[in-house]
Amino acid sequence: MRKRVPSLPKDTSRGFTLVEVVVALAVLSLIMLATVSALRTFANTQTSLDRVIERIDETRTVSSFLRSLVASAAQGQYEGGLTLGGPPENSSFFFADESFMTWKATVLFGENFGGTYLLRVQRQGDALVLLWQEPSNDNSNVDWSDAASRQLISGLQEFSLAFRPNFVDDWVTKWEPGAPPALVRLRIKTRDRYWPDLVMELPW
């Protein structure tokens, strides 16, 4: 009688099938794609937020600076033409149209350098600049080509001014030398967006 050989126990463990591996890789790829998209969205949001903050800071800084310069305008008797000895130091002057504004102000550049200067805000290319020089005998016809300057805004797309003779009249776009307007309005557009209108009351 033949002796029966006991059978070995069957190995119940098995590996992943090809289909299971493909499905797992597909799910992992979707998870990684979602993570990368979320990180990219977060980076874009942070960049946009930084631009908004930078824009707000620029608007606040420039607006504050211009308000301060206008508030420091020289007050006193208005200049009324040529004088042999030059205009009085404390005389007022204002001349502007829709593209520039010139006025006399007492300003301080640094701790030990300042005085009464003729100031001018105007557009130069794609920048808004502030120019200054010492007053002359005829401030309405001075040469600004060699004046000291400082860039206030870059990427300027639009810049215009308007003026109100008093608080109830309509806005006008040109102002002759003489008695200044009650209000001046600056309209600025940079990076395809308009700033809030900057309306300033002149101090005289």
pLDDT tens over the chain, length 204 residues: 555 655 555 555 566 788 888 888 888 888 888 888 888 887 777 777 777 788 788 889 999 999 988 888 876 555 544 443 445 555 788 888 888 999 888 887 666 667 888 999 999 999 999 999 988 877 778 889 889 999 999 999 999 999 998 888 899 888 876 677 889 999 999 988 899 999 998 876
Backbone angles phi, psi at 99, to 5 degrees: -115, -10
Q: Please give the model's pTM, rounded to 2 decimal places.
A: 0.69
Confidence (pLDDT) at 85:
44
Q: How many residues are listed for the chain in this entry?
A: 204
Contacts 24+ apart (CB under 8 A), 103-112: 103/70, 103/73, 103/180, 104/73, 104/74, 104/135, 104/139, 105/69, 105/70, 105/72, 105/73, 105/74, 106/72, 106/74, 107/69, 107/72, 107/132
Confidence (pLDDT) at 109:
64
Confidence (pLDDT) at 83:
40
